[in-house]
Amino acid sequence: MSGTTQHAELALYDYNPYERRPKIEWPNGARMAFWVAPNIEFYELNPPLNPHRKPWPHPYPAVPGYSIRDYGNRVGHHRQMAVLDKYGVRGSISLSAALCEHHPEIIALCAERNWEFFSHGIYNTRYTYGLSEDQEREMIEDAMATIERAVGQRPAGYLAPALSHSNHTIDLFAEAGGLYTCDLFHDDQPTWVKTRSGKPFVSIPYSLELNDTIAYVVQKMEPRRYGEIIRRAFDQLYEEGAESGTVMCIPTHNYQVSCPHRLRAFEEALEYITGHSDVWVTTGREIAEYSLTHLKDQIGSNAEASA
């Protein structure tokens, strides 16, 4: 409850306890689906002010915040890409769609590697907050169409810009042709999501806890410790994956993980993970498509189709 407004409870998924679930098997008997989601974002120096959220902590021009994010695109991207290449990981990019226009060089480098591009809104300084349903639909479609024009494929996934949502966000994205959301952090396995259109739609685990920005900026972790928590998460999910397949995601940002004093910790974690057998190193789209095709029963599709 906020003021006098009664907000609806979300009814996106059914409660489903982690014990005694039907077994998930990943392709070729893998016990874990592993994916890396580099956020490639554009933050505007001078965006229009959204009354619900300030884009920057400093007055214009917000040099510290803006310039380190620009660093990510100018310097960090290449560095992270080289490490992912080395360990055979195709990135699943959480993309500010306007980056297709601002920095097409980055799009080209990722496209030639057959990376996945999913939508992360237009800019990370434009929030969903306060938009009408029509405005949000327009923003979601603009981002989908912009990415499709740039790379020739319509995005399958959505992480709302700056994790800003409305009650309609997931419904609207499913109606725009999306297959999966990264915005829900309730599980370590895919979950069937109930949308008003009833279209097949799934939540794919995208760990906020292993997100480099959460680790480095919120938790203020030392770089080597970040590497350590990634390995611990892997060990646990890999062990549990023997009983029923799990999903592990490392969400990254090219202005955090790619800094020269941090990249080594990330690289060591990747080396550790990809050194294990029975790990399906894949993309968000592939996990979503596999789940919606082969795992409908395991992920709860026999629940009521619409909320």
Partner 1 sequence: MSDELLVYPRRDYGMDHDRYGWSMLQDRPPVAWPGGKPLALWINLSLQHFPLSGEKPSVAPPGALTMPYPDLRHYTLRDYGNRVGIYRLLKLMEHYQAAPSLAISGALAERYPQLLERLAKTSSEWLGHGWNMLSMHAGEIDPQIETEWIHNTRTALEAFTDQPIVGWLSPGRIQSANTPELLVKNGFRYQCDWVNDELPYTFRTSEGDMTCLPSSLELDDVFVLTQNLHSEDSFAQQVMDAADLLINEGREQGGRLLSLNFHPWLVGQPHRIRTVREILQALLVERGDDIWHASPSQIIEAAQA
Secondary structure (3-state) at 179 = coil
Please list, in sequence order, all residues whose beta carbon lies within 8 angstroms of the beta carbon of residue 180, skipping any fewer than 6 positions away: 156, 157, 158, 201, 202, 203, 204, 284, 285, 287, 288
**230 lines the binding site for partner 1 (CB under 8 A):** no
- For residues 34 and 42, which CB has a smaller minimum distance to partner 1 in the complex? 42
**106 lines the binding site for partner 1 (CB under 8 A):** yes
**243 lines the binding site for partner 1 (CB under 8 A):** no
Q: Answer whether the bond into residue 161 is a cis peptide, omega within 30°.
A: no
Please tell me the count of residues contacting partner 1 according to CB under 8 A. Answer: 52
User: Please, which of residues 33-62 interact with partner 1 by CB under 8 A?
Assistant: 42, 44-46, 48, 50, 58-61
Measure the CA angle with vertex 237, ends 93 and 32; round to 5°: 60
Beta-bridge partner residues of 280: 33
- For residues 66 and 280, which CB has a smaller minimum distance to partner 1 in the complex? 66
Residue 216: DSSP 8-state = I
- For residues 184 and 214, which CB has a smaller minimum distance to partner 1 in the complex? 214
How distant is the alpha carbon of residue 293 from its chain centre?
21
- For residues 11 and 63, which CB has a smaller minimum distance to partner 1 in the complex? 63
Q: In whole angstroms, how far apart are CA 245 and each of 31, 77, 121, 239, 249?
A: 5, 31, 30, 10, 13
- φ, ψ (nearest 5 deg) of residue 275: -80, -5
**149 lines the binding site for partner 1 (CB under 8 A):** no
- Least Å from the CB of residue 83 to partner 1: 10
**271 lines the binding site for partner 1 (CB under 8 A):** no
Site string for partner 1, 150-169 (x = CB under 8 A): --------------------
Nearest CA among 55, 71, 21 for reference residue 246: 21
**231 lines the binding site for partner 1 (CB under 8 A):** no
| One residue of 175, 187, 222, 278 binding partner 1 per CB under 8 A | 222
SS3 content of the chain, % helix, strand, coil (to 5): 40, 15, 50
| One residue of 132, 236, 302, 306 binding partner 1 per CB under 8 A | 132
| One residue of 11, 22, 54, 101 binding partner 1 per CB under 8 A | 101
| Count of Cβ atoms closer than 10 Å to residue 57 Cβ | 8
**224 lines the binding site for partner 1 (CB under 8 A):** yes
Beta-bridge partner residues of 40: 95
- For residues 55 and 284, which CB has a smaller minimum distance to partner 1 in the complex? 55
Beta-bridge partner residues of 39: 94, 253
How distant is the alpha carbon of residue 276 from its chain centre?
23
Residue 92, Ramachandran bin (φ over 0: left; ψ between -120 and 50: alpha; else beta): beta
Q: Name the one range near partner 1 by CB under 8 A: 71-79, 177-185, 207-215, 283-291.
A: 71-79
* Distance between CA atoms of residues 93 and 116, nearest Å: 6
Q: Name the one range near partner 1 by CB under 8 A: 19-27, 110-118, 136-144, 279-287.
A: 136-144
Q: Name the one range near partner 1 by CB under 8 A: 25-33, 100-108, 183-191, 206-214.
A: 100-108
Residues that bind partner 1 (CB under 8 A): 42, 44-46, 48, 50, 58-61, 63-64, 66-68, 70-71, 73-75, 77-79, 98, 101-106, 122-123, 126, 130-132, 135, 138-139, 142, 216, 220, 222-224, 259-265
